[in-house]
Structure 1
Amino acid sequence: FPEILDGRVKTLHPAVHGGILARRDLPQHLAELAKNHIKTIDIVVVNLYPFIETVTQGKVSLDEALENIDIGGPTMIRSAAKNFPSILVIVDPEDYDIILQKLRRGSVDLAERKKLAHKAFQHVAIYDTAIAQYLSEKTFPEEMTIALKKAYDLRYGENPHQKAAFYLEQNVRQPQAVLASLKQISGPEISFNNLLDFDAALNILSNFTAPTVAIMKHTNSCGLASHANLAEAYRRALAGDPVAAFGGVVASNQVIDLATAREIDQTHYDAIIAPAVS
Structure 2
Amino acid sequence: MNPLKYMVAGTFALLLMTDSWAQRRTDPEAEAEMYNSVSSVGVTTNTNSGILGGFVYRHSKALPTLLMGKHQFRYLALELVNVKHPKELPSQNFITGSRFTYGKQNYLFVIRPEYGREVMFFNRHSDEGISISGIVAAGPSIGLEKPYIIQFQSRPGVIVSEPYDPARHAQTELIVGSGSFFQGFDKTSLVPGLHLKTALSFELSAFRDNMTGLEIGFLAEAFSRKIIIMPFAQNRSFFTSGYVTLYFGNKKQ
Q: Please, what TM-score do these two structures have when normalized by structure 2?
A: 0.18
Q: Please, what TM-score do these two structures have when normalized by structure 1?
A: 0.17
Q: Which has the higher contact order (CA 8 A, sep 6+)?
A: 2
Name the one with the larger strand percent: 2
Name the one with the larger helix percent: 1
